[in-house]
Amino acid sequence: MVTKSRGASRLAAGLIAVMALTGCGAGGTAGSGGSGDGASPLRVWFPGNLAEEVSWVNEKLVPAFEAEHKVDVQVEFVDWGNLATRLSTAFAGGTAPDVFGHGNAAAAGYAANNRAIALDDYLAKMPASDVKDLTFLDQGKVDGKQVIMPLRGFGHLLAYRTDLFQEAGLDPAAPPATWQDLRAAADKLVVRDGGKITRSGVIFPADDPTSMSQAFGSFLFQAGGDFADESGTITWNSDAGQRALAFLAEFYNGPQAVSTGLGEATSGAGAQHPLVTGRAAMAVIDEATFKTIHEQAPDVAAKIKLAPPLKDTTAASFGGAGNGLFISADSSRKDQAWKFVEFLLRPANAKAYVQAVGGIPARASLATDPELAAQPYIKPYMDAAAQFRGNPNVATWTQQREALAKEIEAVLRGKTPAGQALDRAAAEAEALAKN
Amino acid sequence: MVTKTRPPGTSPRPHPVTPRRPGRSPLRSAQRRAGWILVLPAVLALALVTIVPIGYGFYLSLTSYNPVERGGPTFHGLNGYLAVLRSGEFWHAIWITVQYASGTLILAVPGALALALLVNGRFPGVALFRAVLYLPRVVPLVAVSMIWLWLYSHDGLFNYLLDLVGLPPVGFLTDEDTALLSLIAMRAWKALGGSMIIFLAGLQAVPASLLEAASVDGCGRWRTLRHVILPLLVPITTYVVVVDLIYLAQSFSEIYVLTSGGPLSSTTVLNMLIYNEAFEHYRLGNASAMAFLLFCLIFGLAYLSIRTMARGGRR
């Protein structure tokens, strides 16, 4: 009996080992095929899977490019959440696409690891006036070299409900312009039921820790600070940073809190956005979210206005170059890849792209385009383009940002004082930069 | 009297059989070759998709490897394991994993047994009832997670019901105090159907004679359940607990969809941490080391469960 029992135990142990190891070792491989050998199609990965973008790219852009250049193009739309995973496995497996999109934040990392090529030689062949027209070009440079071609710009602006302003005795024509204005307006607009906030005076991007770090970014820039200096040394824990984070945290913490919704998904929420449902009177939102509100709740959107960037010492807000395209260093058809990028950035395509996706067009000449100027979810962002500031172009920025983001979340949830959190995040980020 | 007849020319005794030498197959070599050829594709497939990745994963766990860099893996021995074991995040994730797995098991196993007892009876519509209870099992976990994401959202069904009874909304997934509990509730619901079917099979295998004997001896329903049925279900329960434990300790997709490990890492189970380590921090070596430590954890917990329940069963 004892022998049988041991035998059964060993058999069971063996089964557990195989099952558990299979789970641990399980994993998919990303992509297939090579980078192109002349016969295979030009492979392009776009970040995100916005229906309008997918439709425009597949039905208009790609057929037009294929007809003009006699090249087959295979486009894949990769969900933002999986983009880094897919790209890193594709790099490791030698299956990276010829052209791939990403946010500007990743540019320095890909450049440092020679995953994306410098595009300066190609840019030099473009007419000077054309190059000058590309609004966000400088933000795609790493160590003076053009690594990413931004397709559009983005930004965070304060949106407010004019009807709720009127109810609270505020002037909808005079939105908050300073931190003090913002706090005063939020105090007037908040609605409480006992100790519970039933309508937030104002909410900020807070879907996840990364969004929270971007909300902090706006206040950091407004306070005269920055994430890092020109050498890449972290400066977010400066006096300006501490003041900015403490100010932001006061909206969520303490008896005078006026904001709720930490961790709630509001990005691209459209008709479900708290500004639409009435759970918030003001909200800092990006252009893509404002576009979804216009599309899904036009009646409420008509009551929402946008304020220019707030000012403490500087009028600024988080934003700048949004997603752009890289050309893979492993691509065997870099010239064709460039032609695709250049084609997408032609004025007519650059315009159609922001009409589909939203945001600020990649070309300055489109700022006066009557069709774009008529779009209430594009014009205010175009007007504020010069005041949007983004991430520093340092190689480990995405990892450093995660270190900052988790500390920002702890502060906003009232777990850690602002100064301590920023110092801790800075120490971790410096360590990441050294490794 | 029965007379046995024998065909002419046959021996009265059976042919002597040559005793088989130990370790030798009675199959001829051609048959053996055919056997090997038949199983070869399966063996190769197993090696290719299971054994090789496990081996490569173990090799990676002994290296420092950033997939975005061009240098490839750099061997550094056990440094990755030591770094992981010294990391507070790792132990925090272990603790969350243990809470998540045990919390789900505590809800799912007795719940599944209770449901199995319920649907083991004969009443009109029992087949439909069983099918409905099994339904969550066949729906993909990601799809279930998307549905529960809405159920738990601020404007979702649960908060609507709370509002109907005059209670304030709850941030099921956005509050660090409730996020893990909410995940456990969802996962237990998902696990109920599958475990229920296994328990039901076990219940239907209980010999009717034993139940009749218990009845004749004057056992009521409760005593029959406690002293007859449950002891007989120990092997089934062991199986359910061990298999659920193995799957729960490897949970990822539902957490990725519902909370991404937040808020404040309150739902960062070990697989979520492995994902973050590999694809946010690009530390594939450390992530692989964590995966093998997770294997050790699962193996240990499962083995412990088997031994504990086997002892309980023998008593």
Give one DSSP letter per residue of A369-389, joined into a string: -HHHHT-TTTHHHHHTGGGEE
Chain A positions touching B298 (Cβ under 8 A) are 16, 20, 23
* Chain A residue closest in CA terms to B252: A23
Find the largest Cα–Cα distance for chain A: 89
Nearest by CB to B264, from A5, A24, A410: name it: A410
CATH 3.40.190.10, chain A: domain bounds: 42-151+322-345, 154-318+393-434
Q: How far is CA A231 from CA A215, A313, A350, A429, in A?
A: 24, 23, 33, 14
Residue B18: what pLDDT? 55
Which residues, 6+ apart, have CB-to-CB distance to B190 below 8 Å? B136, B137, B141, B144, B254
Residue A347: what pLDDT? 95
Whether residue B307 lies within 8 A of chain A, CB to CB, comes out as yes
- How far away is chain B from the Cα of A277, in angstroms, using its nearest Cα? 9
Task: Give the containing element (helix H, strand E) for A422.
Answer: helix A418-434
Residue B313: what pLDDT? 57
Q: How far is CA B50 from CA A332, B44, B47, in A?
A: 33, 10, 5
What distance in Å separates the CA atoms of residue B210 and residue B233, rounded to the nearest whole number? 13
Whose structure tokens read 């304060």?
A158
**Could you tell me how many CB contacts below 8 A there are between chain A and chain B?**
116
Residue A36: what pLDDT? 40
Cβ-contact B57, B288 below 8 angstroms: yes
Cβ-contact A19, A83 below 8 angstroms: no
Q: Does A24 contact B171 at a Cβ distance shorter than 8 Å?
A: no
* CATH of region A42-151+322-345: 3.40.190.10
Whether residue B68 lies within 8 A of chain A, CB to CB, comes out as yes
Q: Does A23 contact B250 at a Cβ distance shorter than 8 Å?
A: yes
Nearest by CB to A262, from B153, B168, B263: name it: B263
What distance in Å separates the CA atoms of residue A84 and residue A90, rounded to the nearest whole number? 10
Q: How far is CA B101 from CA A253, A337, B270, B295, B305, in A?
A: 33, 48, 11, 14, 13
Q: A45 is written with which tokens?
A: 């990965």
Task: Give the containing element (helix H, strand E) for A258.
Answer: none
Residue of A101, A50, A78 whose CA lies nearest to A337: A101
- Residue A232 CA, chain-centre distance (Å), reads 20
Residue of B287, B77, B53 whose CA lies nearest to A93: B53
**DSSP letter at A11?**
H
Q: Does B67 contact A91 at a Cβ distance shorter than 8 Å?
A: yes
Handedness of CA B55, B56, B59, B61 (dihedral sign): negative
Whose structure tokens read 């509730």?
B185
- Residue A391 CA, chain-centre distance (Å), reads 10
Residue of A399, A84, A410 whose CA lies nearest to A263: A410
What distance in Å separates the CA atoms of residue B297 and residue A110, rounded to the nearest whole number? 36
A320: alpha, beta or left? (left if phi > 0; alpha if psi -120 to 50): left
* Chain B residue closest in CA terms to A28: B49
Name the CATH topology of A154-318+393-434: D-Maltodextrin-Binding Protein; domain 2 (3.40.190)
Which residues, 6+ apart, have CB-to-CB distance to B109 below 8 Å? B195, B237, B240, B241, B244
What distance in Å separates the CA atoms of residue A290 and residue A309, rounded to the nearest whole number? 15
Which residues, 6+ apart, have CB-to-CB distance to A392 below 8 Å? A226, A227, A228, A232
- Rounded (5°) CA angle A31-A33-A35: 100
Q: Residues of B175-192 as b/e, b for ≥16 C-beta within 10 angstroms?
A: bbebbbbbbbbbbbbbbb
Residue A26: what pLDDT? 35
Residue B26: what pLDDT? 63
3-state secondary structure string, chain B? CCCCCCCCCCCCCCCCCCCCCCCCCCCCHHHHHHHHHHHHHHHHHHHHHHHHHHHHHHHHHCEECCCCCCCCCEECCCHHHHHHHCCHHHHHHHHHHHHHHHHHHHHHHHHHHHHHHHHCCCCCCHHHHHHHHHHHHHCCHHHHHHHHHHHHCCCCHHHHHHHHCCCCCCCCCCCCCCHHHHHHHHHHHHHHHHHHHHHHHHHHCCCHHHHHHHHHCCCCHHHHHHHHHHHHCHHHHHHHHHHHHHHHHCCCHHHHHHCCCCCCCCCCCHHHHHHHHHHCCCCHHHHHHHHHHHHHHHHHHHHHHHHHHHHHHHC
Q: Please list the pLDDT of chain A residue by residue as tens digits (435 residues).
A: 344 445 545 544 554 554 444 443 333 333 333 334 446 899 999 998 889 999 999 999 999 999 999 999 999 999 988 898 999 999 999 999 999 999 988 899 999 999 999 999 999 999 999 999 998 999 999 999 999 999 999 999 999 999 999 999 999 999 999 999 999 999 999 999 888 899 999 999 999 999 999 999 999 999 999 999 988 899 999 999 999 999 999 999 998 999 999 999 999 899 999 999 999 999 999 999 999 999 999 999 999 999 999 999 999 999 999 999 999 999 999 999 999 999 999 999 999 999 998 899 999 999 899 999 999 999 999 999 999 999 998 888 989 999 999 999 999 999 999 999 999 999 999 999 887
List the single best residue of B48, B51, B76, B282 to mutate versus A (max A Cβ within 10 A). B282
Which residues, 6+ apart, have CB-to-CB distance to B85 below 8 Å? B293
Cβ-contact A53, A105 below 8 angstroms: no
Whether residue B67 lies within 8 A of chain A, CB to CB, comes out as yes
Residue of A235, A218, A165 whose CA lies nearest to A394: A235
Whose structure tokens read 């939203």?
A358
Q: Does B242 contact A402 at a Cβ distance shorter than 8 Å?
A: no
* Chain B residue closest in CA terms to A414: B264
Alpha helices in A345-378, H assignment, sequence order = 347-357, 370-373
**DSSP letter at A309?**
P
Whether residue B270 lies within 8 A of chain A, CB to CB, comes out as no
Chain A positions touching B53 (Cβ under 8 A) are 25-27
List the single best residue of A5, A24, A203 to mutate versus B (max B Cβ within 10 A). A24
Which domains does chain B carry? 32-75 (no CATH), 87-314 (1.10.3720.10)
Residue B5: what pLDDT? 45
Cβ-contact B297, B97 below 8 angstroms: yes
Q: A68 is written with which tokens?
A: 């003009």
What distance in Å separates the CA atoms of residue B42 and residue B47, rounded to the nearest whole number? 8
What distance in Å separates the CA atoms of residue A290 and residue B74, rounded to the nearest whole number? 47
**DSSP letter at A139?**
G
Residue of A40, A30, A231, A11 whose CA lies nearest to A143: A231
- Rounded (5°) CA angle A340-A346-A350: 100
List the single best residue of A16, A78, A113, A208 to mutate versus B (max B Cβ within 10 A). A16
Handedness of CA A267, A271, A272, A274 (dihedral sign): positive
Chain A positions touching B273 (Cβ under 8 A) are none
Cβ-contact A375, A295 below 8 angstroms: no
Q: What share of chain A is helix, strand, coil (3-state, %, to 5)?
A: 50, 15, 35
3-state secondary structure of A72: coil
Q: B40 is written with which tokens?
A: 């070869």
Instruction: Extract the residue ranges of chain B whose pLDDT is less than 50.
Output: 1-11
